[in-house]
């Protein structure tokens, strides 16, 4: 049986007794049915896995003692920043989950002209907490020991004005250029629109900010499919999906 991995937003060290948070208790104790003396792996985003043993469980509390620490180096050599137009519920969740599994380092949710989802301040905070949970769960599942950075929701025009290290590439079905025709970027900033994609005006704005237009084959992809296809292609060309483990 695979040892469960649980994220904890607190300092971790060998010998420490850790009170698991509510999310970890719900998943580890209530869902996975872990019992005292079971092993688990804790991580807090510092690049290490902490092997721990459950020592006490009550109805609303669980304690684990850390016994060992291991450095975990499975981050891609390609730094990827995904700027994604906010899509509807499950589509956004799926896109974000798979993006984390495929190694993104940073995510910026974008408000674009064709965004169907409208967020006021309260809903935006709630959605951001939800997305942070998706990131956490995807890191637990995929074995990543560093959490990608989740930015605040930004308006598209404001994002284009940011000073960023790396090459912006925007998905544009009219472009004749593919990823394989591009030079390897120092860092990749991949821009993908929501349902309906970017408008012509938004694409022109991106080109005015030195973005490169790319296409992912001859078919129009859904937002969540484009995220998976784009990141998979980039990681195969410039990252570690085609990397030998020997």
For residue 245, what pLDDT is reported? 52
- 217: pLDDT strictly greater than 50: yes
Domain membership of residue 212 (yes or no) is yes
Confidence band (pLDDT; 50, 70, 90) for 118?
confident
What does the DSSP 8-state code read for residue 30?
Answer: I
For residue 130, give both structure tokens.
């939800």
Q: Over the chain, what is the mean pLDDT?
A: 93
Domain membership of residue 205 (yes or no) is yes
Q: Are residues 164 and 94 in the same domain?
A: yes
Compute the distance between CA of residue 64 and CA of residue 41 in angstroms, rounded to an integer: 10
* pLDDT tens per residue across span 144-163: 999 999 999 999 999 999 99
User: Average pLDDT for residues 140-147, to the nearest whole number?
Assistant: 96
> 3-class secondary structure for 71-103?
ECCCCCCCEEEEEEECCCHHHHHHHHHHHHHCC
For residue 184, give both structure tokens.
């390897």
For residue 68, give both structure tokens.
């060992």
Residues 46, 49, 55, 61: is their CA dihedral positive or negative? positive
Domain membership of residue 117 (yes or no) is yes
For residue 246, what pLDDT is reported? 45
Q: Are residues 225 and 140 in the same domain?
A: yes
Check which CATH number belongs to the domain holding 64 and give it. 2.40.240.20
For residue 140, give both structure tokens.
């637990």
Q: Are residues 63 and 122 in the same domain?
A: no
Compute the distance between CA of residue 89 and CA of residue 114 in angstroms, rounded to an integer: 15
For residue 106, give both structure tokens.
């940073």
How many Å separate Cα 11 from the centre of its chain? 22
For residue 18, what pLDDT is reported? 95
For residue 31, what pLDDT is reported? 78
Domain of residue 164: give its range: 79-238
Query: How many domains does the structure of the chain reveal?
Result: 2
Looking at 71, 106, 122, which one is the last position of a domain? 71
């Amino acid at each position: 049986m695979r040892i469960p991995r649980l994220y904890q937003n607190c300092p971790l060290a060998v010998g420490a007794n850790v009170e698991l948070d509510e999310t970890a208790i719900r998943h580890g104790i209530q869902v996975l049915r872990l019992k005292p003396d079971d092993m688990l792996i804790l991580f807090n985003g510092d690049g290490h896995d902490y092997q721990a043993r459950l020592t006490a469980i009550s109805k609303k509390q669980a304690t684990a003692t850390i016994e060992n620490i291991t450095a975990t180096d499975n981050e891609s050599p390609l730094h990827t920043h995904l700027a994604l137009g906010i899509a509807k519920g499950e589509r956004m969740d799926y896109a974000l989950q798979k993006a984390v599994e495929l190694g993104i380092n940073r995510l910026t949710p974008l408000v674009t002209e064709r965004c169907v989802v409208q967020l006021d301040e309260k809903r935006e905070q709630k959605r951001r907490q939800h997305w942070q949970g998706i990131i956490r769960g995807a890191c637990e599942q995929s074995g990543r020991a560093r959490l990608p950075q989740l930015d605040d929701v930004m308006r598209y025009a404001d994002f284009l004005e940011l000073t960023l290290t790396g090459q912006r590439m925007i998905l544009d079905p009219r472009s004749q250029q593919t990823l394989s025709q591009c030079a390897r970027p120092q860092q990749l900033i991949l821009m993908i629109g929501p349902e309906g994609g970017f408008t012509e005006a938004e694409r022109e704005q991106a080109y005015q900010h030195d973005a490169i237009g790319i296409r992912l084959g001859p078919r129009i992809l859904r937002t969540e499919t484009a995220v998976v296809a784009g990141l998979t292609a980039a990681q195969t060309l410039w990252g570690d999906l085609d990397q030998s483990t020997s």
